[in-house]
A = this chain, B = another copy of it.
Amino acid sequence: MELSLSELAALVGGQFVTTPSAQSVIRGFAAITDADEGDVTFYADPRYLPALRKSRAAAVLVPLDFDQAVPPVAIRTANPRASFDSLVECYASKPVPYAPGIHPTAVIGEGVELAEAVSIQPYAVIEAGARIGARTVIGAHAFVGRDARVGEDSQLYARVTLGERCIVGNRVIIHPGTVIGSDGFGFEMVNGRHVKIPQIGIVQIDDDVEIGANVTVDRARFGRTWIQEGTKIDNLVQIAHNVVVGKHCVLVAQVGISGSTRLGQYVTLAGQVGVVGHIQIGDQAVVGAQGGVSKTLAPKELYQGSPAVPAREYRVQMAHLRRLELLMERVKRLEQEVDSKSKSSPPPT
């Protein structure tokens, strides 16, 4: 891409805030905080005004009422974010799609069913009885276990492992290195040794789920570990056996959920949150980063801290914790005053 400033303004149907003096050439896209010379960016959130004032971008798309002087050439447009997105859509380099076909190095087991237009990449291993839906991509070095099923239009990136009998729906994206269907972590103590409890259930992942890189989702003790429709899971998340994650949840990186816990719909767990086993988290509940959830949480509430408590309570605790030193001094002063009075007052009669 190479665009002059006037071409850029024309493309977004925008107007210059002030006529540009320099003749910059636009070569890339960037967020305000990342932008370098030659980049176009956009400004939609006043929190970024300080960043925009220091930005090295060549041009910035701004709202119609924007009237600040900033280093980039500013172009007014009704919806800067949408304009920027359509620019990106038109000009940015896009992922190269994987062409349909089965690479000759793929190892395809007996009775495997491959629907039309699947793309099976080099060194993929698909074990006996597995079924892959139409237009789905199985990445290089991916492993699909015996009798596993993947739906249509899904993408398993390089090195994804899908254990035997596990089920993946349609339009599911799974990033590299993720393991679906490892054994649940279950043992019982017999004569001083941990004896393995067989983990014979499966993992079921419903339509439109996206799962990040190097995530682990264990298979159920029996029955299923279940990620429901539309849920999005970030990198390095751990989901234990028999967990149910409801529809349209968001689990940020490094979250861990212990066995048999159930999340409702639209639950958000921020980064590094840990959740104990055998509890429920209500619909639309949100847990702040590094929260430690040790009991069932109500719907629609924001929780923080470890152990996690309602956010208001957490803020009060933290505020008081910060003021503890002052409190200590106040108590000391009270003790001195009370003590001095005892000495000065006549003893009680």
Contacts and interface: CB of A to CB of B under 8 A. Distances in A.
Interface of A: 28-31, 33-36, 39, 88-89, 92-96, 103, 105, 107, 121-123, 125, 139-141, 143, 146, 157-159, 161, 163-165, 173, 175-177, 179, 182-183, 185, 187, 192-194, 196, 198, 200, 208, 210, 212-216, 218, 220-224, 230, 232, 234-236, 238, 240, 242, 244, 248, 250, 252-254, 256, 258, 260, 262, 271-272, 274, 276, 278, 289-290, 292, 294, 306-307, 309, 313, 316-318, 320-325, 327-328, 330-331, 334-335, 337-338, 340-342, 344-345, 348-349
7 contacts: A92-B200, A157-B182, A161-B177, A177-B216, A182-B235, A194-B230, A212-B216
SS class, residues of chain A in contact with chain B: loop
Contact of A210 (B88, B196, B198, B232): B196
A31 B230 contact: no
Contacts of A214: 177, 179, 214-216, 236
How often does this chain occur in the complex, in copies? Answer: 3
Nearest to A306: B290
B185 A35 contact: no
A204 B131 CA distance: 37
Given A254-B256, A317-B322, A242 B200 contact: no
Contacts of A140: 107, 125, 143
Contacts of A242: 31, 33-34
Contacts of A330: 331, 335
Nearest to A237: B236
A268 to B, nearest CB: 11
Most chain B beta-carbon neighbours within 10 Å: one of A88, A183, A196, A253: A253
Given A165-B93, A222-B28, A317-B324, A348 B344 contact: yes
Given A94-B200, A143-B158, A182 B28 contact: no
B93 A200 contact: yes
A194 B232 contact: yes
A200 B321 CA distance: 44
B252 A185 contact: yes
Contacts of A158: 125, 143, 161
B182 A212 contact: yes
Contacts of A213: 161, 179, 182, 216, 218
A222 B289 contact: no
B236 A216 contact: yes
A342 B338 contact: no
A-B interface, 6 closest residue pairs, ranked by CB to CB distance from nearest: A344-B348, A320-B324, A182-B213, A216-B235, A30-B223, A179-B213
Nearest to A193: B230
Contact of A185 (B92, B139, B163, B234): B234
Most chain B beta-carbon neighbours within 10 Å: one of A157, A185, A313, A325: A185
B35 A223 contact: yes
A344 B198 CA distance: 73
A223 B29 contact: yes
A289 B262 contact: no
B92 A222 contact: yes
Given A93-B200, A214-B216, A272 B271 contact: no
